[in-house]
Structure 1
Amino acid sequence: MRSPDRHDTPAAGAPAGEGRRRRRRPEPTPAQRALGLLVRREHSRKELATKLAARGVPPEEASAAVERMAAEGWQDDARFAESLARSRAGSGYGPLRIRAELGTHGLDEAVIARAFDALAEAGGDDWIARARDLVKRRFGDGLATDIARRRKAADFLLRRGFDGDTIRRATRGSPDDD
């Protein structure tokens, strides 16, 4: 049997069963909440403000916290856009889908264009090669002779956000057919 230590005995004058009470942590400030979200992953300004509001932060305080995070360099829409574009392209999504998703985050066209420029600089914008790789992994070889599979592959790429020209080129039989 284990010997009681000072945490097992009730405090002097306290009824049995009421040992030491834990201190409650003070409620985090809106800036602390925002920083807590940003250390996990990048967020857009719009997304960060929405998440703070969902956690009960009044809109004006959420806005001030987001502005503070941006001023101190913890939040940056351009960095967020580049990160999201790189992640989605790596996951097999096309430029139309990525551009649309970036737009839902309230980013302006200049920030989105810079994200695609950064993707191009890193060599991640060969959309035809990405589409062909997706088709080959999902549908295998021999699409040129199987119209039904080629149509399924085209629908798949369309849902992933690739444009019509890229889809046509990716679903042809051979990369040399260009």
Structure 2
Amino acid sequence: MPLKASNPDSPPNERTLRARALRLLGRREYARREMAERLARWGATNEQAARVLDGLQADGLLSEQRYAESWIRTRLDRGDGPRRLRYALAQAGLDESLIEQALPENEDWAARLEATRRRHFGAPAPVDWPEWARQARYLERRGYSPELIRRRLPRPTMDSDPGDDVLE
């Protein structure tokens, strides 16, 4: 919930805005765009917000690199795949080169896909094609590419072929 300015007719001063921003940064990292939105909700003008954010960045207190690394670490633990990570960071206003730099270089996405599948669906492989499709849709929503899913998601056994229920 945003704090109210002491005088609602005038924008807060930069010192107050910086103090509020520092309180937020004490809890977690923020992207510049997120912090600018918070400052705007507190009544900061665009110029005030830019000066406060520039000062925080110059002092090393606001870092989009740290934000991206922290955010990715958290989402990897949840089982998110590379496509979802890239999209969400781009939505937060991060530059594409910064996103690529922050993503883990030697990440085994196939192992992460399998761990995510097992955590959500359990150890057994899909027993039929509808179940395979359900698991594939879930993994795609989590941010894994369809190619990786097709390569790594265990296929149902041959005795559960989708044509089995067709009468001859």
The two structures have a TM-score, normalised by structure 1, of: 0.74
1:10-89 to 2 correspondence within 5 Å?
29-89=16-76
Residue deviations 1:102-156, cap 9 Å, x none?
Answer: 101111111111101xx23xx6x21111111111222234435321111111000
How many percent identity over aligned positions?
37
Aligned length: 145
Q: Structure 1 stretches (4+) deviating beyond 6 angstroms?
A: none
- Report Cα offsets for 1:12-33 as digits up to 9, x if no partner: xxxxxxxxxxxx9x98611111
Gapped regions of structure 1 (runs ≥ 5)? 1-23
Question: What is the CA distance between 1:160 and its match in structure 2?
Answer: 0.6
RMSD of aligned C-alpha atoms? 2.1
Rounded to whole Å, the distance in 1 between the matches of 2:63 and 2:56 is: 8
Measure, in 2, the Cα distance between the counterparts of 1:92 and 1:101. Answer: 14
Q: TM-score normalised to the size of structure 2? A: 0.79
Q: Which amino acid aligns with 1:140?
A: G
- 1:135 matched residue in structure 2: 117
Name which one, 1 or 2, has greater alpha-carbon Rg.
Answer: 1
Corresponding letter in the other structure for 2:50? S
Ranges in structure 2 where 5+ consecutive residues have no aligned partner: 1-5, 7-11, 157-168
| Distance across 2 between alignment mates of 1:87 and 1:169 | 26
Question: Which residue matches 1:109?
Answer: 96
